[in-house]
Amino acid sequence: MSRITKAEIADIVAKALPFAEMLGPEIEKLKAGEAIVRMPFKPDFIRPGGTISGPAMMGLADFTMYVVVMSLVGRVELAVTTNLNINFLRKPAQKDMLAHGRILKLGKRLAVLEVSLTSDGSDEPVAHVTGTYSIPPKTDE
């Protein structure tokens, strides 16, 4: 069971993540260590050549990793990306994009994750992403 709800994530996005809010992410699946996030297509995401821009795809992947981390550790808003590697595999369709994220390894201070990006309606990945998140130490309040 996830340690954070979709409503709590929506609250974080609305209050503290303006770039994520611009992407308009919609969490379709959320369970401990796994998430599927939809990024609705917007013409603003297109770059020359008619493809969805790399920054939009990286933003979606990074947000998905953030969601997966919080699904395991709870509402730890100060978790941050320490590494993100993306391989663009094929030109995405001008459609919604889906990010399928999962945990590879969770430690006390670091989480290693993987995200596969697909165009809506296709199982063929358009990008493969790996990343590492730093999890701040718990503090006694």
Single out the residue of 11, 4, 20 nearest to residue 81, CA to CA. Answer: 20
| List of residues 6+ apart from 23 with CB closer than 8 A | 39, 56, 59, 60, 63
Mean pLDDT of the chain: 96
pLDDT at 44 over 90: yes
Q: Give buried/exposed letters for 6-19 (b at 16+ CB in 10 A, else e).
A: eeebeebbeeebee
**pTM of whole model > 0.85?**
yes
Which amino acid appears at position 123 of this protein? D
pLDDT at 141 over 60: no
